[in-house]
Amino acid sequence: MKVPTQTVKDTNGNDQAVLVALEDWNELVGKLRHYEQLLNLKSKLSSALDQVARMRSGKLKKRTLKDALR
């Protein structure tokens, strides 16, 4: 049985909360976690590429892969 999404309104008719079926909620949380992981990866890649650019320009000392993995 599919439960429709509902909103809870205050006395002025403004939306205050949303009631979502548990199955839909779990799906939303899963998608949110996935997007958080992608955003974290993007941030780390951006930082790494910035470091490479600074190394190439001489503003940051170059490191070997061996040193970076220590």
Residues making up the chain, counted from first to last:
70
Q: pTM for this one?
A: 0.66
Question: Residues 41-53: pLDDT tens digits?
Answer: 999 999 999 999 9
- List, as one string, the DSSP characters of 41-52: HHHHHHHHHHHH
Q: Taken in order 41, 43, 48, 50, is the CA torsion positive or negative?
A: positive
pLDDT band at residue 14 under the 50/70/90 scheme: very high
* All structural domains of the chain with their residue ranges: 21-60
Q: What is the largest CA-CA distance in the chain?
A: 65
